[in-house]
Amino acid sequence: MQPAWEYGDAVRVTRNVRNDGTYPGVDTGDLLVRRGSVGNVVDVGTFLMDQIIYSVHFLDINRIVGCRAEELIGADEDWLPSRFEAREQVRAAKPLSANAEVLVPVDAIGEVLKVLRADGNVDYHVHFDCQPGRVFAVPESALTASAPTRDESSHA
């Protein structure tokens, strides 16, 4: 198990990091670091002897947060911001159809399963409640937030 980054390396967090209850002075579930933020590795450790955890100092908010390797990319790597992330609730902004049949109506509620970034586009794997057991690849332009998030509503 070799670390991908060392002390001082600049890294970018690829998803919102929320307090899981281990960050002192912040309520569980509150946003700690916004996806896309860049910080520097200040320590490398392990969790349960099989996961590398990077302590990353995000200077702009003066916060040190533990991150797993899959949550990080190098600060110089290509980064395409996304409006949504895994586990977020979304609504269909337009009807989604295949073979001239509407499968997902406007305003249908779904959950993002995965963010897909390729060729300068952001798409999502989304499961909609109206189509149990099916997963759709949906472009960002075809989705809207199901409701304002705590972060969006507090910045209005």
Q: What is the pLDDT along the chain (156 residues), one digit of tens a residue?
A: 788 888 999 999 988 899 988 889 999 989 899 889 999 999 998 877 788 999 999 999 999 999 988 889 999 988 888 888 888 899 999 999 989 999 999 999 999 998 888 888 889 999 999 999 999 999 999 999 987 544 444 433
Minimal CA–CA distance to 110: which of 91, 125, 95?
91
Sort 137 into a burial class: Cβ within 10 Å, 0-12 / 13-18 / 19+: exposed
Domain architecture of the chain: domains with CATH = 10-74 (2.30.30), 89-148 (2.30.30)
**Predicted local confidence at residue 154, as pLDDT:** 40
